[in-house]
Amino acid sequence: MNVLFSLITLMLLMFCSLTICAQDKGCLEGNCQNGWGVYEYYIADIYQGRYEGQFVEGNRSGKGKFVYANLSKYEGNWLEGKPHGPGAKTSSRGLVQSGLWEAGKLVKPYDGQRLLECIAGNCKEGIGKSKDALGNIYSGAFTAGQYHGYGEMRYTNGDKYKGYWQHQKAHGQGSYYFNNGHVNTGKFVLGRFASNQMKVWAVIVGVADYLRFSKLKYTTQDAQNVYGFLRSVEGGAVPEDQIKLLLDHNATAFNIMNTAADLFEQADSNDLILFYFAGHGKNGAFLPYDYDGKQGNLLHHGLVNSVLKDSPAKYKLCVVDACHSGSFDLGKIISYENYLKSYHQSGAETLASATRSTLDIRDRIKAYYASFEGIKGGLAVIMSSASEEISLEANKLKQGVFSYYFVQALKGAANAADSSGKRDKVININEIFSFVEKNVRKFTYGFQHPQIYGQYDEKMPISLIKN
């Protein structure tokens, strides 16, 4: 009798493990009877897995995901506790079975993420629109019923891929847009991101004609000179949608920060972002056009620091020609989100700028961007003066002293020779600062001392010498 009882118990346990029979450990979240919920399953005290999805009369029914104890998972449709309808099962080794399921068995498999349903057009040979087993929607070219050619995939998690495909997988030039706003653009190989072309994103600010403060002579010209350099071949020929020039009345505190936050968040993990400001400054802040002459509408260093650090860009450069700019504190951060919330209580507007392109200098542009390969990255902050100093404008130069030498450095004057006397054609951050610091100090007879801060690779390229 005891032997018979033991055999029956063993058979029940085997039946339970095959059907994911579970003892009730309680619903962890939501409605696990009729609605959406989260439920963990056990046999005795042995964990079997976790289900997140829809329930009908206590059974897994509708859309849901089950992650098993061995880390395999099934995601798709369920009926009475078993996979039923479109879905995909992924083993712990990453092997995928997708297609139509009935009572827990795959009855109509698809190769990888093969076509499940053709929504429009020709999904065999031509241009069409389809939905796969996981609900992802593809629009584009098909060959032999597979994604092949140029197309766009919109994933159910909010991600998106636009680019070329080969045999169902992203392959060739393309862009993957994450649902958090970040973008990877470059070469994809059989579904994996392989290379990323480096891009430059820049916000250039110049304020001379202040609303309620003393005017400056050359700061807008300084900003225009930096902008012009970045638009040139040597500056990377930065296209118009990646660079913004804000002058005088457009350079309000909100417009500056809103433009910088919007532009810099578009950068990805291989890009360079540049923030340049020319205007008045005071300890702990830069003064935008709408500075009220007291403590209102200040562009706090901590706010600029926050926007720079929040960007996913690999290379980050902040260049400032303003009095007391050396008081910039890299450790201080003022949340841009909090600033935005408080600003929206009073309302605001935004802004934009322009470009051109040349074909005969492609090789030089490619050489500039290629020079960033293998560089570690980081954040460098170059300031025109120490915290207790002011930054000078010079009638002789018709520019701010710091900005004059900064632009000269960018144009090639900073290119230093190596130990053998040879000069490469790429100017890095260390060469830029060494040239600017030496010449500003000399021109001002030691009155003004540029500063550099941050954690950065000293070989980070900033500009390219003309051939």
pLDDT digits (tens, 9 = 90+) for 321-356: 876 554 555 454 444 455 445 545 444 332 222 222
Question: Does the pLDDT value for residue 396 go beyond 60?
Answer: yes
* Position 11 in a domain: no
- Pair 421, 317 in one domain: yes
CA distances in angstroms from 95 to 19, 52, 89, 243, 405, listed in the order given: 22, 21, 8, 44, 59
| Residue-by-residue DSSP string for 427-454 | EEHHHHHHHHHHHHHHHTTTS---EEEE
64, 95, 110: which is the final residue of a domain? Answer: 110
- Pair 190, 206 in one domain: no
Least confident of 183-187, 189-193, 362-366: 362-366
Question: Does the pLDDT value for residue 85 go beyond 80?
Answer: yes
Residue 309's contacts (CB-CB under 8 Å, 6 or more residues apart) are 316, 333, 379
Round to whole Å and give the CA distance between 203 and 262: 10
Round to whole Å and give the CA distance between 238 and 246: 16
Q: Average pLDDT, stretch 211-216?
A: 81
Q: What is the pLDDT of residue 402?
A: 86
- Pair 41, 83 in one domain: yes
Q: What is the pLDDT of residue 149?
A: 92
Quote the mean pLDDT of the chain.
Answer: 76
Q: What is the pLDDT of residue 111?
A: 54
333 vs 314: which has the higher pLDDT: 314
The pLDDT-based confidence of 23 (bands split at 50, 70, 90) is: very low
Least confident of 9-23, 214-228, 298-312, 431-445: 9-23
Q: What is the pLDDT of residue 180?
A: 61
Q: What is the pLDDT of residue 449?
A: 85
Joined together, the tokens standing for residue 172 give 């060739």
Round to whole Å and give the CA distance between 288 and 429: 26
Q: Which helix (H) or strand (E) holds 256?
A: helix 253-264
Q: What is the pLDDT of residue 247?
A: 93
Question: CATH number, domain at 159?
Answer: 2.20.110.10
Question: Does the pLDDT value for residue 21 go beyond 50?
Answer: no
Q: Are 123 and 143 in contact (CB under 8 A)?
A: no
Q: What is the pLDDT of residue 101?
A: 87
Round to whole Å and give the CA distance between 264 and 304: 11
The pLDDT-based confidence of 165 (bands split at 50, 70, 90) is: very high
Joined together, the tokens standing for residue 121 give 């057009």
Strand order in the sheet with 160-166: 117-121, 126-131, 137-143, 146-154, 160-166, 169-177, 183-189, 192-196
110, 131, 156: which is the final residue of a domain? Answer: 110
Q: What is the pLDDT of residue 354?
A: 20
Q: How many domains does the chain have?
A: 3
| DSSP designation for 409 | I
Q: What is the dihedral sign for C-alpha 191, 194, 197, 203?
A: positive
* Position 1 in a domain: no
| DSSP designation for 292 | -
- Pair 101, 124 in one domain: no
Range of the domain at 429: 200-464
Q: What is the pLDDT of residue 161?
A: 92
* Position 9 in a domain: no
